Amino acid sequence: MPDLDFRIVGVEAAARGLTPLIQFKLEVTNTPETETVQSVMLQAQIQIQAPQRAYDAPEREKLFEIFGTPDQWGQTLRTKLWTHANANIRQFSGRTEGILPVTCTYDLNVMATKYFYALNGGSVPLLFLFSGTIFYLNSENRLQVQQVSWNKECTYEMPVTVWRELMDHHYPNSAWISLDRNIFDRLYEYKRRHGCATWEKTMECLLAQSEDVQMTKHE
C-alpha cells in the first residue's frame, strides 16, 4: 500500500505561458520504494503563511486593506488561502518529480494579488496541503485505488521576485484594476467627453482635477 510524501524543491515562472503561470517543482516519494504507483491525481491547497515573515513600514502600509493597521495585526495577521492547484503524476517507483502549475492574476481586487504586490522583496512562506487519489497494482496485479492521506503537507519559501517578474513579463510597466460596470461606463463617458486619447491620460486628468480641488480647499 503506497505511502506518499511531497516536497516542493523549486519554482519558476512559465516562460511561454499565454497567461501568468507559476510552476512549482514537486518531488514525490513512495514507501516502500520497490512498489510501483501507476498514477496519482493530486490536488493541493496553497496557503500564504503571512505571520511567518517580517514586514517593513511601506509593506505594512500597503497591507492595510488585508490586515488593517499594525496595531490590529495581533488579531488580523493570519494564514490566508491563496489558491488550489492540480497535477497528474505519472507512473513511478520510489521517487519522481512533477510540476504543480498555479495560474496567477494581476487583479488587485484579489487578496493574494494585493499581498504579493505589497511585498518589496524577500520570500512568501507557503503551506501546501495535499489530497487526491492514488492508483496502484496489488500483489495480484489488480488495480487498487487509495486516497492521499489527509495529513500530507509541506512548506516552501517562494521568492517574491518570481511573482514580480511574471507580472512584468505579462504586463510590462503596467497594472490593471477591475471596476463596477456602472463606474466604468461613467469613466468611459468622461474619457470621450474630454477627448482623452488613452486611459492613462484619462486618469491623469482626473487626478489633476482632484489635486486642484484639494489645493483650493487649503487656500
Q: Where is 194: in which H helix or E strand?
A: none
Give the pLDDT confidence score for residue 208 in this predicted structure. Answer: 86
Longest dimension (CA), the chain: 89
The pTM assigned to this predicted structure is 0.84
* pLDDT, tens digit (0-9, with 9 covering 90-100), for 92-109: 999 999 999 999 999 888
Give the pLDDT confidence score for residue 214 in this predicted structure. Answer: 65
Euclidean distance between CA atoms 23 and 83, whole angstroms = 13
CATH 2.70.98 assigned to 3-170: no
Look up cell 495581533; give the residue.
74
The rounded radius of gyration (Å) of the Cα atoms in the chain is 23
pLDDT beneath 70, residues of the chain: 212-219
Backbone angles phi, psi at 47, to 5 degrees: -115, 145
* pLDDT, tens digit (0-9, with 9 covering 90-100), for 16-57: 778 899 999 999 999 988 889 999 999 999 999 999 999 999
Give the pLDDT confidence score for residue 218 in this predicted structure. Answer: 58
> By the 8 A CB rule, do 198 and 136 touch?
no
What's the full length of the chain, in residues? 219
Give the pLDDT confidence score for residue 216 in this predicted structure. Answer: 63
Query: Which of 103, 102, 105, 108 lies closest to 128 in space, CA to CA?
Result: 102
Query: Which of 175, 173, 171, 198 lies closest to 187 in space, CA to CA?
Result: 198
